[in-house]
């Protein structure tokens, strides 16, 4: 393994004096002490509204907040920190885009998503389709759980104005060919939006290299606090877009009848931002950088292969999807055991996994399942976690 397991786990207070096996990282990740300390320090040392106060702690809070924006910009290789918009997470980021880009849509236009999308990258586009009269179309998946791109001209046409796809499936673990799709989007003149919630925590992201127009992600899935995330967009596109919400900070001038907007990114950040959480996200990025994203990807790849091999030895266990390029997400069911019963019995052994439709009901319908179990790994997981998980599965199967 590429990571120093013992020293890493000791950084996470939730694992102190606990036998918890936490395998629900695609839902949310645990927080290292370094992130918790950064959040607490903001509340205790510089708790003042940003961009508004000229007194010392207000200036200090603003400096830390804007330094966080710069840190995120560097992490994804944005052209400028001004391309980083703070949001509450991926869901808000995609809703922002669905509302601000809908003025360019109308009857005869297509919005293209896929069959594997999380509801956060599906429902906003359904709503945009209803508002604008644009058609919502989707790319199906093949038997391996990959996007079916065997006939791309069937889906990518001159009518396609917006393409919105997940970087990594939160159910199948499939890593989609973002670079290839970005090339197609450019050829047909479509905007390309990437839901990076399951991508950026697990691999190095260079938005310029990816070739997309927008990339959205959440802090809580990458060791950061809840309630904070970012939307990256190309500056020329952000400057053309209207604000999503109105209020303080996002304005330049206001009269009783009209207003003008602040510059990017502030015109998209109405009201008091989650500045404490933003500093916490920056601390999480520092933590990930110290480990190295290449090391994280290698560790997760090895552990995923180990888990798949161990699980293949359990009779009646069916894994959903076998993509050639996959992340550390494995969804499965065991014949004769309902997924919810399975999770409840695993909990008796202090093992945490996710069960249900995983906010991807259309995908589960295509799998002909109502509910599936899912394990998802991260940097603090190791082979012993997988061993305990598989031992518990075997015991539960024997009981049933």
Task: Please identify, among 272, 289, 306, the residue that sits at the C-terminal boundary of a domain.
Answer: 289
The percentage of the chain sitting over the pLDDT mark of 70, rounded to a whole number, equals: 98
pLDDT at 10 over 50: yes
Same domain (yes/no): 385, 302: yes
Residue 127 sits in the same domain as residue 205: yes
Q: Are residues 75 and 212 in the same domain?
A: yes
> 157-168 burial string, b = 16+ CB within 10 Å, else e?
eeebbbbbbbbb
- Choosing from 123, 237, 359, 388, the catalytic residue is 359
What CATH number does residue 373 fall under? 3.90.1150.10
Same domain, 315 and 281: no
Looking at residue 2, what is its pLDDT?
A: 54
359 counts as catalytic: yes
In this structure, the answer to whether residues 315 and 215 fall within a common structural domain is no
Q: Is it the case that residue 7 has pLDDT exceeding 80? A: no
Residues 183 and 84 both lie in one domain: yes
Mean pLDDT of all residues in 154-167: 97
Q: What is the average per-residue pLDDT within 12-26?
A: 96
- In this prediction, residue 154 carries a pLDDT of 94
Average pLDDT of the chain is: 96
pLDDT on residue 1: 42
Same-domain pairing of 322 and 214: no
Do 169 and 88 lie in one domain? The reply is yes
For residue 392, pLDDT over 80 is answered with: yes
- Single out the residue in 244, 273, 289 at which a domain terminates: 289
Is 64 found in the same domain as 18? Answer: no
Domain check: are 174 and 216 in the same one?
yes
Shortest CA distance to 265 belongs to which of 21, 79, 127, 389?
79
Domain count, the chain: 2
Torsion of CA 36, 298, 221, 129, to 10 degrees: 160
pLDDT band for position 53 (50/70/90)? confident
If asked whether residues 126 and 261 sit together in one domain, one would say yes
The answer to whether the predicted template modeling score (pTM) of the entire model surpasses 0.75 is yes
Rounded Cα distance between 144 and 20, Å, is: 32
Position 5 scores a pLDDT of 56
- Is the confidence at residue 78, as pLDDT, over 70? yes
Residue range 112-149, pLDDT digits in tens: 999 999 999 999 999 999 999 999 999 999 999 999 99
Query: What is the C-alpha separation between 282 and 288, in angstroms, rounded?
Result: 10
Residue 127: which domain range? Answer: 35-289
């Amino acid at each position: 393994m590429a990571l120093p397991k013992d020293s890493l786990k000791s950084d996470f207070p939730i694992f102190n004096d606990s036998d918890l096996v936490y395998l629900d990282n695609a839902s949310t990740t645990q927080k290292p002490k370094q992130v918790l300390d950064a959040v607490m320090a903001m509340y205790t040392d510089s708790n003042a509204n940003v961009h508004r106060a000229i007194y010392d702690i207000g200036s200090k809070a603003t400096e830390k907040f804007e330094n966080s924006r710069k840190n995120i910009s560097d992490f994804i290789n944005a052209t400028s920190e001004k391309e980083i918009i703070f949001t509450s997470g991926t869901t808000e980021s995609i809703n922002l885009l669905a509302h601000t880009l809908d003025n360019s849509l109308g009857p005869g236009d297509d919005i293209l998503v896929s069959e594997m999308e999380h509801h956060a990258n599906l429902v906003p586009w359904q709503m945009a389709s209803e508002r604008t009269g644009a058609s919502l179309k989707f790319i199906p998946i093949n038997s391996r759980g990959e996007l079916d791109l065997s006939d791309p001209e069937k889906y990518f046409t001159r009518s396609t104005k917006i393409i919105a796809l997940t970087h990594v499936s939160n159910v199948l673990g499939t890593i989609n060919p973002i670079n290839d799709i970005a090339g197609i989007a450019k050829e047909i003149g479509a905007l390309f939006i990437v839901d990076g919630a399951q991508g950026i925590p697990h691999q190095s992201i260079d938005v310029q290299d990816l070739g997309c127009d927008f990339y959205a992600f959440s802090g809580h899935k990458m060791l950061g606090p809840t309630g904070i995330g970012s939307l990256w967009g190309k500056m020329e596109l952000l400057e053309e877009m209207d604000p999503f919400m109105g209020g303080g900070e996002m304005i330049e001038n206001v009269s009783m009848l009209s207003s003008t907007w602040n510059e990017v990114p502030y015109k998209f950040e109405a009201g008091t931002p989650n500045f404490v959480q933003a500093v916490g996200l920056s601390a999480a990025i520092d933590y990930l950088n110290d480990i190295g994203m290449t090391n994280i990807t290698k560790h997760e790849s090895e552990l995923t292969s180990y888990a798949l091999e161990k699980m293949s030895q359990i009779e009646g266990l069916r894994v959903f999807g076998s993509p050639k390029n996959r992340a550390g997400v494995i969804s499965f069911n065991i014949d004769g055991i309902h997924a919810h019963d399975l999770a409840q019995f695993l909990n008796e052994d202090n093992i945490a996994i996710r069960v249900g439709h995983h906010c991807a009901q259309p995908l589960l319908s295509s799998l002909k399942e109502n509910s599936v179990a899912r394990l998802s790994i991260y940097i603090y997981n190791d082979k012993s976690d997988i061993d305990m998980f598989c031992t518990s599965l075997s015991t539960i199967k024997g009981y049933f």
